[in-house]
Amino acid sequence: MISLIVAMGRNGVIGANGGLPWHLPADMRRLREITWGKTLVMGRKTFESLPPKVRPLPGRRNLVLTRDATWAHAGAERVAILAEAVALAGENELVVFGGAEVYALAMNMNMVEKMYVTEVDVDVAGDTYFPTWNKAEWREVAHEQHEENGVRYAWIDYVRQTNRESR
């Protein structure tokens, strides 16, 4: 199965200046719980934005999508195309971990079957956005409201609807 995990503001912002535009420790714990033991695929810039002490993310297989054939980092594996990540994940769930270009690639190829979304109830300035997506193609299967550090947010899980379900 191919899934993705993302936190985004109301305006679709997912990043600002190479980092997250909010501080939500509970959401970081959820991210760890969801991705633990799974295979992650992320772009090079996303990988390099991770704090050095957790780069690569422990307890997960870290695949880094980059065009740079010379790129290497201990504990991470380079992939040149998304299909290579799918093949390397095998039967293990492959979690698309960002950034914007990798999300767009996976979404445009209709590869993603499940999305773990944190919708942060803020409009923030940022320089990185989640790609536009059609909510009609997705069915909400879980929804939890939270508030932390004065910020309201929701954890929402979506699964892609089959053609029959979307009629």
Q: Indicate whether 166 belongs to any domain.
A: no
**32 in any annotated domain:** yes
pLDDT at 163: 56
pLDDT tens, residue by residue, 91-100: 999 999 999 9
For residue 164, the model assigns a pLDDT of 47
17 located within any domain: yes
C-alpha dihedral sign at 54, 55, 60, 65: positive
Instruction: Give the CATH number, domain containing residue 12.
Output: 3.40.430.10
Specify whether the CB–CB gap between 31 and 117 falls below 8 A: no
Q: In what order do the strands lie in the sheet with 2-9?
A: 76-79, 61-65, 39-43, 94-96, 2-9, 114-120, 151-160, 138-148
In a domain, 82, yes or no: yes
State mean pLDDT over 27-49. 97
pLDDT tens-digit series, residues 138-167? 999 999 999 998 999 999 999 999 754 444
Provide the residue range defining the domain that includes 49: 2-160
- Number of domains, the chain: 1
DSSP assignment letter at 19: B
- For 49, residues 6+ apart whose C-beta sits below 8 A from its C-beta are 15, 18, 19, 99
Examine residue 133 and state whether it is found in any structural domain, yes or no. yes
Question: How high is the pLDDT of residue 18?
Answer: 87
More confident position, 89 or 19: 89
Cβ contacts of 1 within 8 Å, gap of 6 or more: 93, 94, 113, 114
Supply the mean pLDDT for the chain: 94
In a domain, 167, yes or no: no
